[in-house]
Amino acid sequence: ADAGPRAAFGETPASAHGRVVAREGLTLRDSPRRAGTEVGRRPYGDSVAIHCAMLGERVRGEDRWYLLTDGTWVATPSRSIATEGVPRTC
């Protein structure tokens, strides 16, 4: 079975970094879908390392998801993360 972009996330450095700007923090999921299991949260102001970006299920009008270097996924990054750099495409 193809593990997709998640299989390689630990093999390369972050392509971009960011800071959580959503007051409610970030919900971390195990896949780029709303139905993906919630596996954690990151608080407002926390730093995140972004491995790559890809299109996924649309959430709040946005279909871009970020794969973080810890293997978790974040929806609506333009609303929730102030990004430094442009993440590579997954």
CATH class, domain 4-84, is mainly beta
pLDDT band at residue 79 under the 50/70/90 scheme: confident
Write down the pTM of the prediction: 0.82
Domain ranges of the chain: 4-84
Q: Within 10 Å of residue 1's Cβ, how many Cβ atoms?
A: 3
Name the maximum alpha-carbon separation found in the chain. 38
pLDDT digits (tens, 9 = 90+) for 26-54: 999 999 999 999 999 999 999 999 999 99
Interval 3-34: pLDDT, tens: 444 444 555 678 899 999 999 999 999 999 99
